[in-house]
A and B are shown apart, each in its own frame.
Chain A
């Protein structure tokens, strides 16, 4: 039996055309980078300035002060003595094994990324919750951001902005912002229709409804989003190190390529410890906000 060739071999693009296609896109990107690289870079200068100085501040302040400030923040956030003492032990472990400087670098970039992700993600989530059309446009973009292998977009970013903090920051935010947006949208959409009708009946306008009714009721879900965003940002630490972001990722890379088991484990654990602290504090802070509301309603 003879199967016709067009059934067994997919009629693919010719080699020459494919080459021309690849070259055209590469060339266009290169021209774009030549023309606009500088101005895009200067657009990010304020963020870079802030990041560099935050890192310097954390690294140059004497460690007991930094630890004290962190512990105060943790206690204020969680109101839990156990968590505070546990965090103290974790910080001492990190510092004793010589990972303090790297940890401070990681904390500074993760902190800034989380703040930016919250600052950008909540408004986008609000917009999405208000319009089904916006939602159907944004959701596929979020899917791409979460599943596209990081290096696919990292290399163009590096060619545009060089290596270091800003490309790292972009990579982390691209990966970490989707849960923030999704859960803000979800939280607002889940607010009871009847509650909104009641607000309408009291003559609340759109802004009042949003800030007095929808956002407060969506807060637990939004906090789950913040929590997820922090976790995903920490998961990107090693990838970010591959384009020159200082922090705990670099010793991990060094350990991987030299097969230094202990070094890899210690730095890996430092990332885990940071994640656990961030996670517990943000969760219990979110829970307390809820309790407070439940209490005042009764």
Chain B
């Protein structure tokens, strides 16, 4: 009898649990979203958090991340569920494999103009020297870009460990920059790289190096992206330009930077309406730049910027259905 009672209790308990979990699924459940350590991704993560929580009743937890660790963790462990802004060039091969196996999915391209990567010079240098249009032109003007350690000129490469460092260093060799008096400067970290740009800008010095858009730095300090002046050769890019052991790098244009929202299989299957929203969410670079400039001017956090976007912009109205829209607006 006693045994029977106990098992009855556990059966009832288990049924209760089952009922509870189906209900949670219907309301999309608890989700982890990667909050990358740069401004635009931070803002997007907070937009997702507000929309998914208030519009669709999900429980959203933001997890700090950056490109390589987050991508690896998503591929290996299926966590976090959503990477709102993943620059996939750095991890394309592994990601393609994971999507083919169905563990991850490319949900949507998050910037409708794609990301822009390449070599930039400050606008004031470009204005003072209108003849500088291409990378080659800039490399011929070693006098404009003095090296911080005295002799020669400097090309600021990507920080150690970022994939773009390999491409920049290979293109540096391909364009014969060393023979023109240039040396590579490794800024060590993203903060170091942006610090170097703002220092050059404040003191109106020459600066030439790698950067990317949309970013707060480019919202704040107008820069000109130089053309590599050769057509983009994708095979060369994949087999040599972006590889560590590229023996004989050729001149090449920077690959178009695909920036995707990547989601795990679990999210795609279980989040339902949340997935519909993620697929539609895309912003033009001009909007992102304006938002980042607003964020910078007001020294705001990613959360503030997300709130600012949701209260003052209307782009997101098309991403959600009308009931979710009403719920989000009342929550604001």
Do B186 and A244 touch (CB < 8 A)?
A: yes
**Interface: B16 (CB within 8 A):** no
Contact of B195 among A158, A250, A253 (CB under 8 A): A158
Contact of B199 among A48, A160, A242, A255 (CB under 8 A): A160
- In the complex, the number of residue pairs spanning A and B with C-beta atoms less than 8 Å apart equals 98
**Interface: A163 (CB within 8 A):** yes
Within 8 A of B (CB), among A19-57: 19, 22-23, 26, 30, 33-34, 37-38, 48-49, 52
List, sorted by A's number, 26 A–B pairs whose CB atoms are closer than 8 Å: A23-B299, A26-B299, A33-B203, A34-B202, A37-B202, A155-B195, A158-B199, A160-B199, A162-B199, A163-B192, A241-B160, A241-B188, A242-B188, A243-B187, A243-B188, A243-B189, A243-B192, A243-B195, A244-B187, A250-B160, A253-B159, A253-B161, A253-B189, A257-B160, A257-B161, A259-B68
Q: Taking beta carbons and an 8 Å cutoff, which residues of B are in contact with A?
A: 66, 68-69, 72, 148-150, 159-162, 185-189, 191-193, 195-196, 198-200, 202-203, 298-299
Point out the residues of chain A lying under 8 angstroms from B159, CB to CB. 253
Interface string of A142-156 (1 = CB under 8 A from B): 000000000100110
| A19 CB, min distance to chain B CBs, angstroms | 6
The complex places the Cα of A256 from the Cα of B159 at a distance, in Å, of 12
Point out the residues of chain B lying under 8 angstroms from A34, CB to CB. 202-203
**Interface: A254 (CB within 8 A):** yes
Do A164 and B149 touch (CB < 8 A)?
A: yes
Point out the residues of chain A lying under 8 angstroms from B202, CB to CB. 30, 33-34, 37, 159
The secondary structure that dominates the A interface is helix
Point out the residues of chain B lying under 8 angstroms from A258, CB to CB. 68, 161
**Interface: A246 (CB within 8 A):** yes
**Interface: A251 (CB within 8 A):** yes
Do B185 and A244 touch (CB < 8 A)?
A: yes
Do A253 and B191 touch (CB < 8 A)?
A: no
Point out the residues of chain B lying under 8 angstroms from A246, CB to CB. 186
Point out the residues of chain B lying under 8 angstroms from A128, CB to CB. none
Interface string of A232-256 (1 = CB under 8 A from B): 0000000001111110011101111
The complex places the Cα of A293 from the Cα of B196 at a distance, in Å, of 51
| B76 CB, min distance to chain A CBs, angstroms | 11
Point out the residues of chain B lying under 8 angstroms from A37, CB to CB. 199, 202-203
Contact of A259 among B72, B162, B203 (CB under 8 A): B72
Point out the residues of chain B lying under 8 angstroms from A163, CB to CB. 148, 185, 187-188, 192-193, 195-196, 199
Of all chain B residues, the one with the shortest Cβ separation from A52 is B149
Question: Which of A37, A151, A158, A160 counts the most chain B CB atoms within 10 A?
Answer: A158
Do A244 and B299 touch (CB < 8 A)?
A: no
Point out the residues of chain B lying under 8 angstroms from A254, CB to CB. 160-161
Point out the residues of chain B lying under 8 angstroms from A164, CB to CB. 148-149, 185
**Interface: A161 (CB within 8 A):** yes
Contact of B191 among A38, A151, A161, A241 (CB under 8 A): A151
Point out the residues of chain A lying under 8 angstroms from B148, CB to CB. 162-164
Do B69 and A259 touch (CB < 8 A)?
A: yes
The complex places the Cα of A253 from the Cα of B298 at a distance, in Å, of 32
Do B199 and A161 touch (CB < 8 A)?
A: yes
The complex places the Cα of A249 from the Cα of B196 at a distance, in Å, of 19
The complex places the Cα of A160 from the Cα of B202 at a distance, in Å, of 9
**Interface: A165 (CB within 8 A):** yes
Point out the residues of chain B lying under 8 angstroms from A151, CB to CB. 191
